Structure 1
Amino acid sequence: MKIVNTSVKRPVGVIMIVLAIVALGVVSARSLVIDLFPKIDLPVAVVATTYEDAAPQEVENLISQPIESSISSVEGINTIQSQSQAGSSLVLMMFNNGVDLDQALLDVRERVDQVKGMLPETAGDPNIMRFSPDQMPVVWLSLTGKDAAVMTELAENQLVPFFERQEGVASVTIEGAKEREIQLILDQAKLQQYGVNSQLVMQALNSQNQSASVGTVEKGNKDLQLRVVGEYESLNDIKDTVIQTPQGSTIHVEDIAEVKDTYKEATSETLVNGESAVVLSIMKKTDANTVKVADQVLEGIDEMNEKLPKDANLDVVIDTSEFIKLSIDSVVKNILIGGIISVFVLLLFLKSIRATIVIGLSIPIAVISTFALMYFTGQTLNILTLGGLALGLGMMVDSSIVILENIYSYRQRGYSLFESATKGASELAPAVIASTTTTLVVFLPIVYVEGIASDLFTPLALTVSFSLIASLVVAVTLVPMLSSKLLAKAMEDHGRRYWFNRFIERLNNGYGNALKKVLKYRKTTVFVTILAIVGSLALIPFIGAEFIPQADEGQMEVRVETSAGSSLEYTQSIVDEVHEKLEKYEKDIETNYVNVGSGGMATMGSSGNTASFMMQLVPSAEREKTTTEIVKEINEDVKDIVGADIRVSESQDMSMGEPIAIQINGPEHDVLRDLSEDIAHGISEVEGIHNPETAASEAVPQMQITVDKEKAALHGLSQDDVLGQVQMQFTGQIATKYREDGQEMDVTLLYPENERSTIHDLQDMKITNQEGTSFPLEEVVEFKEMQGPVSLLRENQQPQMNITSDIVDRDLGSVVQDVEKVLTEMEKSFPEGYSYSMGGQAEDMAKSFTDLALALVFSIFLVYAVMAIQFENFLFPFIIMFSMPTMIVGVLGGLFITNIPLSIPGFIGIIMLAGIVVNNSIVLVDYINILRRRGIERYEAIIEAGKNRLRPILMTTLTTIVGMIPVGLALGEGAEMQQPLAITIIFGLAVSSIFTLLLIPVVYTYFDDLTAKLTRRNKKKKEA
């Protein structure tokens, strides 16, 4: 090949190009974004709307349904889900893969704007946003001190502006903050004494807290702006606000209310390691480097602690970059270990440090070149792309080994260094290019795989492809050039390695004898192969399946839910009991962050009956138990806490979804609620199901107040007047705003807490009409106590209910099979019009497996096409492809032995094997053909080719396998993700290599006989 000759003749040019690529790769590596996983594109948008003080039914009818109807025709929408609860509506749109989400969001915004005017006047403006896992916080910080109000002020005025200025930080949010408020505590008796109601007070506050421009006047040759100034400048101004009574007298606010400068009543509480704290959640920009952002935040902590008061302390609660760093470090270590082992194998075979250096150079050059290609294609440095490097490490030297071996064989026959390098490399370059191409083409169909499987493993496929392309270029250029310059005395025998030479010699002789036997007993060889394949298929039921292996990130959560309507104080008492149970796990828990009363994003508000613990465990290397084991133990410990539903689980990646998610649909919410509870109870008996829960929350106790409009009219009141006064009595009302030192705060009218706490306060409440006359509320309303739903769910404009569950101690595939059996049996008793479907990871796994199976079929076809082009023959590729079925024996056997379920990474490994296992066959068959073209008889050509190619086949196979062993052992943090991939390749390649060496020669003879028979038949036809 011309490229080989050119590289040998012009070594300086080759070296300069290599140095340039290395320099570019080093610069690219420093510029790569570091993250835990590749960017996952979730085509999801959210429309969030508030509707204060509305029940879930009203929110569904007046907010959720109109928005659902308006956006349902947006192109590309796959599913619409809505959650309606007291005071808020959340509508989620899931789009098809490949949809331009930016354009789709514009369409959604246009449709929502059209329906906005139909929403209730008191409803908030719909907020349309794009949902992404990147919007999760990178770092949580806690600010602790004696005075929570002072800590809030420090967080708002100093910390938030400081951290938002850091490079890569998108936003900083505060939890557990105290919000300042001016409260006017109304005196009921004095209001009645003066004949004043709360509406008059609000009007007075609003009208007297205003400043406005009222025109201009001339003064000399200048125009003076006229501005009436009346905004409150002090609390005394509020106290002195004038109120005109209906009787015509004048009073002041301080006559009927106590003015207090205080803080809003807390609806939630934030604790860090049991201590009250203000928590800052720091989110990065979408394209920012997670590790870099976290490092800058950590550096800023020390800087800010020096500026904060002595009693204030800023500390890290959870740092997501810590696990990323540990994971990246473990992958890098695995790469180094695998590389060192591979080089040792090379040294053992080549018996020459120089020869080892020649081949070993292909590893760093390929790795560094890969970094450059990753940078220019926009890939990030994560555990999967680095895992791709670790998996491709052993394969990087395969091409170089084959080339060098052939160069050495020419050298042994007496050719000069230059001739050996050019002839040896040129002769096998086509076979090497073909074998590398077969490995590369198997990744092409992955481009057409959609969803999370594509997002996660396309970067891995690109990384492996980049490394193999780089190593191929090195093999056909740098290796021949270096061989012609450095290997004058290479690969000579040395006494210290004589034992290995004897071992290889005995192995070669043994293989030669075995080859003669299988060629003699060809039918027996084929039968034994078929028997091994069929036997391995019988292992499938014992292996199981899962979506993606769960890495031990050391994060777990505890969710506490007391009975609906419980007070914040009661929920806090349950949280204290949970804290006591957690004391015995102190050595394993690094930080414990608790939010009491916060409903999170899904509820868009607060809920006094819920609390969530987020716990970061110490790194796995520093604890004796896995996160799953600790979760199970804590779950057992908290079972005896009465008065709350407590669920302990590992933190789930939001992009992956729940392992088990069951959706039931039907026309009635009440029926769905009953069915969901039956299903949750039914599947709880399935082995492996852990903490099944339904979205059908416990009903909230409600006091329904119905206004008698006729009676209210007799007193000169409308329904709105009555509702306004009831709302004023029990929740208060914001009258105006007060500004002080650049801060704006609410001025809120409230009644004393002892007048708005009990049912008697409601029943004894007095209503005041426009004339100032007071009368009991009971005269114009009817009270009715009932149960109301917490939230109402819909999917594709039909009521829905969800049941979710974690799984432990069992693979997802087996659990799903048993759950399906339970659901199939239960569906028989479903009312007409009700149905169920599986979602979550179970659905994603089924879809991904289907897509990957199709990709595998296309990959096999592409491998055949490449070999047909290489051999210019339609028959020879079939000989080589007989090594593919034998890999199943190794794959299934390996998964069974290591007790690892088949998962998406394992499936990717099978696809990779389709391109790898044929490489040895290509080299073997190609060399048999070369020998036969030299005039050697078929039998002798097969024996000689087998013995001659055994050494490079052993070297390429061993370097690939040992390079992956550290990954297969899952050494270090986050290595669980690549373990199934490594296991399938290690066992699949090892077993298929044995079959390749013995089965392929037999198949070759059968196909050669077939070819000869067809040739003779055609010849006879021509003669006839």
Structure 2
Amino acid sequence: DSALKVVEKRLFEIPKDSSDIENFSAVVGFNKIDMGGGDRRPESHYGYVDISFVDYDHRKVDSWKSMQWMQNHVPQVLPGWKVAIKKQQDGPPQGYPVSFEVSGENFDRLADIADTVKARLATVPGLVNINWDYDPVRPELSVEVDREQAQRFGVSTSDVAMAVRGAIHGYEAGKFRVGKDEDDVMVRLNPATREEFSGVNQITIPHEGAQIPLTSVARVTQKASLASIRRLDGKRTIQVWAELSPGTKDESKPKSAALAAVKDMVLPPGYTLETGSSNKDQEESQAFLIRAFFIAVALVVLTMVAQFNSLAQPFLVFISILLSLGGVFWGLLFMHVQFSILMTGIGIIALAGVVSKNGIVLIDFINHLRRSGMPLRESVIEGGATRLRPVLLTAVTAMIGLVPMATGKGFDFFHLHPIMKSESSLWWTPMAWAIFWGLFFNTVLTLVVVPTLYYAWERIKARFPGKTAV
């Protein structure tokens, strides 16, 4: 409680130009459920502070800036404590952005390896809140019942367990009612006694009107043990994780640097170091989107092959699709938009179908002019000039339609007022900007590169016997 009061005091000192905090509340005795999921159990040595910002529409300071200030100033006021600054997890647990799993048999050896991984991750710029799930010094009170001695006194192991639980946790002795409120009356050892190891010796077991001392039927020892044992494929495992610095735009750099930092580690025989489940899920999602992209492109190419009765002309459109991907990456970099594997990937897949339309229409019109008897050079020039306005209009109208989704700005026709910020646009921004800049680049490519490649290919065909450029 005193530690959280220090944190609260520090939060009151945050500059106004670095925060739009509306209020915050502190909870002592519970661990906040984070990215890793899990149960919310009482933990006397845990506590957290929930911070609420003003509504996104009225926020003048980016919440990432506030988190960065807290990351730089709050941990220093609690030396010796583990302090983590985290964004509230929305939806189901998604895992940590960077995680590794060390597997083997001996926990001492696993701890050494995991500690090395933590040390290496600490050297990677852009990673914060580096931690693990290994807790080797969990204090434990062990009560070992002497069954033969307990049998002589006529008590069972359950009697011993109930006596210990009642002395520490408490017995319900009755109810206390005030008006409509009703509270339990609990009887247990006083705090000074139950919080000391020697106080356990005062526990007695009621049996047939007599009080049997706990030490007469059981041996009580104090020791440290593991809080939990986690196994992966039957092997003991320690998970090491890290989070990205608040406001990180490009996730790929710190993730790649983390992989490179642990890549050259030499492990003893029987021990393995693998990326965590969240990284594997991300890799699987990325592989799925790449397959979906090439399947979509393959279907577009097959459709064009059937339409043009040619393999070369669909290949020209395929080249323009691949080149338009450069527009996606340069556009996201120019707009300082984070590359999202899911939403940006969906935008690229949609882009493949949208941008191919301009190339198909242009090539089809050039073929039509050539079939009407127009020479190759004039057909390419006339086709590009004629299709210039339709290509530009379709691209520009589509790009304008994407601007509200990409920027979060628009107009509320129900309440007749402009919208300058939209929280939901944060989810759609990577996809909208991916399609926007892909269309922008592809429009230029369609009007310049496709006719040029078409003309060059037809000239090459004309050099072979039996092939002439009409």
**TM-score (ref. length: structure 2):** 0.81
Equivalent position amino acid for 2:253 in 1: S
**Is the CA contact (8 Å cut-off) linking 1:676 and 1:696 kept in structure 2?**
no
Quick one: distance in 1 between partners of 2:444 and 2:12?
Answer: 55
Cα 1:834/1:806, change in 2 over 3 Å? same
How far, CA to CA, are the matches of 1:794 and 1:786 in structure 2?
A: 23
Q: Are residue 857 (structure 1) and residue 286 (structure 2) matched?
A: no
Task: Check conservation: 1:687, 1:815, Cα contact below 8 A.
Answer: yes
**2: CA distance, partners of 1:1011 / 1:701:** 82
Counterparts of 1:359-758 in structure 2 under 5 Å?
A: 572-585=1-14, 588-599=20-31, 602-603=38-39, 605-639=41-75, 640-642=77-79, 644-653=81-90, 654-697=92-135, 699-713=137-151, 715-734=153-172, 748-753=186-191, 755-758=193-196
Could you report, residue by residue, the CA deviation over 1:932-974 in whole angstroms, capped at 9, with x for unpaired residues? Answer: 3333333223222222222222222222233334444465223
Q: RMSD between aligned alpha carbons?
A: 3.4
Distance in 2 (CA, whole Å) between partners of 1:610 and 1:665 is 28
Query: C-alpha displacement at 1:690, in angstroms?
Result: 0.7
For 1:753 and 1:655, how far apart are their aligned partners in 2?
38
DSSP 3-state at the match of 1:792: coil
Q: Secondary structure at the match of 2:230?
A: strand
CA contact (8 A) 1:813 1:842 kept: no
SS of residue in 1 equivalent to 2:44: strand
Structure with larger Rg: 1
Task: Tell me the equivalent position of 1:884.
Answer: 321
Q: Which runs of 5+ in 2 are unaligned?
A: 410-420
In structure 2, the residue matched to 1:871 is 308
Partner of 2:466: 1016
1:596–1:610 CA contact under 8 A, matched in 2: yes
**2:382 aligned with 1:950, yes or no?**
no
Q: 1:911 to 1:780 in 2, by over 3 A?
A: closer
Give the drift of 1:633. 1.4
Distance 2:327 2:424 in 1: 25
Q: Deviations over 1:429-448 (max 9, x none)?
A: xxxxxxxxxxxxxxxxxxxx
* Whole-angstrom distance in 2 between the partners of 1:945 and 1:845: 44
1:813 maps to 252
Q: CA deviation at 1:746?
A: 5.7
Residue in structure 2 matching 1:761, options 191, 199, 206: 199
CA distance, structure 1, for counterparts of residue 442 and residue 144 of structure 2: 78
| 8 Å contact kept, 2:249–2:338 | no
The residue correspondences of 1:795-944 to structure 2 (distance < 5 A) are: 795-808=232-245, 809=248, 811-826=250-265, 828=266, 830-839=267-276, 841-904=278-341, 905-944=343-382
For the residues of structure 2 that align with 1:659 and 1:866, how far apart are their CA atoms?
A: 40
Note the C-alpha offset of 1:710. Answer: 4.7
Q: Report the equivalent of 2:414.
A: none
What is the alpha-carbon distance in structure 2 between the residues aligned to residue 841 and residue 778 of structure 1?
A: 49
1:974 aligns with 2:412: no
Letter aligned with residue 61 of structure 2: K
- Specify the alignment match of 1:57 in structure 2: none
Secondary structure of the 1:811 match is coil
Deviation at 1:724, TM superposition (A): 3.4
Give 1:807 shift.
0.6
- 1-side partners of 2:180 and 2:57: how far apart? 50
* Residue identity (%): 26
For 1:617 and 1:840, how far apart are their aligned partners in 2? 32
Per the alignment, residue 417 of structure 2 pairs with none
Deviates more, 1:815-824 or 1:587-596: 587-596
Q: Contact 2:239–2:276 at 8 Å: present in 1 too? A: no
In 2, the alpha carbon distance for the partners of 1:677 and 1:739 equals 54
CA offset digits 1:320-345 (Å, max 9, x no partner): xxxxxxxxxxxxxxxxxxxxxxxxxx
Matched AA of 1:798: K
- Flag structure 1 segments of 5+ consecutive residues without an equivalent: 1-571, 1019-1024
Whole-Å Cα distance in 2 between the matches of residues 898 and 968 of structure 1?
10
Deviations 1:66-108 (A, max 9, x none): xxxxxxxxxxxxxxxxxxxxxxxxxxxxxxxxxxxxxxxxxxx
In the TM superposition, what whole-angstrom CA distance separates every residue of 1:272-299 from its partner, at most 9, and x where no partner exists? Answer: xxxxxxxxxxxxxxxxxxxxxxxxxxxx
Q: Is the CA contact 2:104–2:110 (under 8 Å) kept in the aligned structure 1?
A: yes
**Closer/same/farther in 2, CA of residues 914 and 752 from structure 1, 3 Å limit:** closer
Change (3 A) 1:863 1:732: same
Is contact 1:593-1:614 (8 Å) kept?
Answer: yes
1:790 aligns to 2:227 (yes or no): yes
2:22 alignment partner, SS class: strand
Q: For the structure 1 residues 932 and 595, does the alpha-carbon distance in structure 2 shift closer, same or farther, using more than 3 Å as the test?
A: same
Structure 1: how far apart are the matches of 2:395 and 2:249? 33
Tell me by how many angstroms 1:862 deviates: 0.9
Question: SS in structure 2 opposite 1:1016?
Answer: coil
The DSSP-based 3-state class of the residue aligned with 1:646 is coil
* C-alpha distance after superposition, 1:639-668 (max 9, x if no partner): 222453221111233343221122222224
Note the C-alpha offset of 1:694: 0.9
Residues 916 and 720 from structure 1, CA distance in 2 versus in 1: closer, same or farther, beyond 3 angstroms?
closer
756 and 961 in structure 1: CA distance in 2 versus 1, 3 angstrom threshold: closer
- Structure 1 distance, partners of 2:394, 2:198, is 85
The amino acid that maps onto 1:890 is: G
Partner of 1:336: none
Matches of 1:903 and 1:603, distance apart in 2: 29
- Going from structure 1 to structure 2, the CA distance change for 1:678 and 1:873 (only over 3 Å counts) comes to closer
CA distance in 2, matches of 1:844, 1:956: 37
User: CA contact under 8 A between 1:620 and 1:626: conserved in structure 2?
Assistant: no
The CA deviation string for residues 715-748 of structure 1, in whole angstroms up to 9 with x for no partner, is 5545444443333322223478999999997665
Q: Matched residues in 2 for 1:866 and 1:786: separation?
A: 72
SS of the residue corresponding to residue 24 of structure 2 reads: strand
Q: Give the partner amino acid of 2:6.
A: E
Q: Take 2:351 and 2:258, find their aligned partners in 1: how far apart are those partners?
A: 33
Contact residue 114 and residue 240 of structure 2 kept, 8 A: yes
Amino acid at match of 1:818: A
Give secondary structure in 2 for the equivalent of 1:704. Answer: strand
Q: Quote the Cα distance in structure 2 between the aligned partners of 1:849 and 1:813.
A: 12
Q: Which residue of 1 aligns with 2:415?
A: none
Task: Encode CA deviations 1:796-819: one digit per residue, 9 max, x unaligned.
Answer: 443222222211246322222222
Q: Distance in 2 between matches of 1:716 and 1:844?
A: 57
Cα pair 2:133 2:240 within 8 Å, conserved: yes
CA contact (8 A) 1:793 1:800 kept: yes
After superposition, the Cα gap between the structure-2 partners of 1:636 and 1:1001, relative to the gap in structure 1 and judged at 3 Å, is: closer
Q: Is residue 690–residue 807 contact of structure 1 (8 Å, CA) maintained in 2? A: yes
Task: Flag the 1:763–1:963 CA change in 2: closer, same or farther, 3 A.
Answer: same
Cα distance in 2, alignment partners of residues 656 and 769 from structure 1: 52
1:979 Cα offset (Å): 2.7
2:320 corresponds to which letter in structure 1?
A: S
State the distance in 1 between where 2:60 and 2:237 align: 43
